[in-house]
């Protein structure tokens, strides 16, 4: 085989075409060319395995193609449990976590998604849908009090009753960015995507049919252009329910939870775990019934539970 020099690699790359991964299923993916053409591609090998959001170099072969190379990633958003690592998407600007007044959301899952986003340096946004359901909404809004003070606040929505106004409010946050949308089932993720990308449901059907050669299984992750010229895109991905954080060290946790991080540097011991140490300023800041504090009891409970879980997690 000819020796691979930087020049020969460049010459080979020049013969390849650029593409953006817009959907994936199993080992194959759908890529979009800069001209907007879409085609199914297969990875050349393990190294060219790609995820939605990846920029790739590919080569046509009859009516399909081969992914020859995945360009280096700005970030990769993923989860990891005892058994496996699962990627959501790559090269994200932000993650929008959509929860609703009903069904009741899990604060634990929300906290996990936020921690994961911070670990990858991806801006998290939270929206609370179904503000028209007044009583459950009030309850959920109150549960989100610690989150309204952190990150970028919480955006209230009512996608089915004030869709137009909500679309405008969302656009302020989404314009020109690539946003991964996550949320528990029933929160209104499909409603949100169809509101911002009219016809998205039809497109999804077509994509999953193409990727599954006619079988009706849903694709795992899909890219939607909200405004191609402005570079505004949404990525729809399932998997909010089982959000494994086994890639995070327990001692990293405090830095990834802003309300805990705020006080973590003030403890007596530099390597304080904030679980039991004397002089711990995190513990001192936890709010209780008879003591005001800037850290909500629910947040500290999540910190403790996650710390224990990650301490017991097998390391890869």
Residues of this chain that interact with ligand GTP (CB under 6 A) are 129-130, 132-133, 158-161, 183, 185-191
User: Residue 190 binds which entry of ligand GTP, Zn ion, none, with Cβ cut-offs from 5 to 8 Å by kind?
Assistant: ligand GTP
Q: Among residues 198, 221, 199, 189, which one has the least CA distance to residue 208?
A: 221
Q: Closest separation between CB of residue 86 and ligand GTP, Å? A: 17
User: Residue 79 binds which entry of Zn ion, ligand GTP, none, with Cβ cut-offs from 5 to 8 Å by kind?
Assistant: none
Q: Among residues 108, 150, 110, which one has the least CA distance to residue 128?
A: 110
Phi, psi at 286, each rounded to 5°: -75, 125
Residue 272 or 310 having the CB closest to Zn ion? 272
Q: Determine whether the annotation assigns residue 186 to a binding site.
A: yes
User: Residue 312 binds which entry of ligand GTP, Zn ion, none, with Cβ cut-offs from 5 to 8 Å by kind?
Assistant: none
3-state secondary structure 19-79: EEEEEEECCEEEEECCCCCEEEEEECCHHHCCCCCCEEEEEEECCEEEEEEECCCCCEEEE
Q: Closest separation between CB of residue 174 and ligand GTP, Å? A: 17
Q: Determine whether the annotation assigns residue 130 to a binding site.
A: yes
Residue 189 or 299 having the CB closest to ligand GTP? 189
Asked if 313 contacts 82 with a C-beta cutoff of 8 angstroms, the reply is yes
Residue 60 or 103 having the CB closest to ligand GTP? 103
First to last CA, the chain: 36
- Give Cα 58 distance to the centre of its chain: 26
User: Residue 272 binds which entry of Zn ion, ligand GTP, none, with Cβ cut-offs from 5 to 8 Å by kind?
Assistant: Zn ion
Structure tokens, 73: 């990633």
User: Residue 280 binds which entry of Zn ion, ligand GTP, none, with Cβ cut-offs from 5 to 8 Å by kind?
Assistant: Zn ion
CB-based burial of residue 76 (10 Å sphere; 0-12 exposed, 13-18 middle, 19+ buried)? Answer: middle
CA atoms of 261 and 295, how far apart (whole Å): 10
Q: Closest separation between CB of residue 290 and Zn ion, Å? A: 21
Binding site feature residues for Zn(2+): 267, 272, 274, 280
Binding site feature residues: 129-132, 183-191, 267, 272, 274, 280
Binding site feature residues for GTP: 129-132, 183-191
């Amino acid at each position: 085989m000819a020796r691979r020099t930087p020049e020969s690699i460049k010459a080979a790359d020049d013969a390849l075409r650029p593409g953006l991964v817009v959907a994936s299923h199993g080992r194959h993916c759908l890529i979009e060319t800069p001209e907007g053409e879409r085609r199914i591609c297969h990875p050349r090998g393990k190294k060219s395995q790609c995820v939605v959001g990846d920029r790739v170099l590919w080569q046509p072969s009859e009516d399909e193609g081969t992914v020859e190379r995945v360009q280096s990633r700005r970030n990769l958003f993923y989860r990891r449990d005892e058994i496996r690592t699962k990627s959501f998407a790559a090269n994200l600007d932000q993650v929008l976590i959509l929860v609703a007044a009903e069904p009741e959301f899990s604060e634990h899952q929300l906290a996990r998604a936020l921690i994961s986003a911070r670990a990858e340096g991806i801006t998290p946004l939270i929206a609370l849908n179904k503000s028209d359901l007044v009583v459950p909404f009030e309850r959920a809004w109150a549960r989100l009090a610690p989150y309204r003070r952190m990150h970028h606040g919480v955006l209230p929505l009512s996608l089915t009753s004030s869709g137009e106004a909500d679309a405008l409010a969302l656009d302020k946050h989404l314009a020109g960015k690539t946003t991964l949308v996550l949320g528990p089932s029933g929160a209104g993720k499909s409603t949100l995507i169809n509101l911002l990308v009219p016809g998205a449901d039809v497109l999804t059907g077509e994509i999953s049919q193409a990727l599954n050669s006619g079988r009706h299984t849903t694709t795992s992750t899909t890219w939607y252009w909200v405004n191609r010229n402005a570079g505004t895109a949404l990525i729809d991905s399932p998997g909010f329910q089982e959000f494994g954080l086994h890639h995070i060290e327990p001692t990293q946790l405090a830095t990834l939870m802003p309300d805990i991080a705020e006080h973590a540097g003030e403890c007596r011991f530099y390597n304080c775990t904030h679980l039991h140490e004397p002089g711990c300023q995190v513990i001192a800041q936890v709010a209780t019934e008879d003591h005001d504090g800037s850290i909500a009891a629910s947040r500290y409970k999540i910190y403790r539970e996650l710390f224990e879980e990650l301490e017991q997690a097998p390391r890869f």
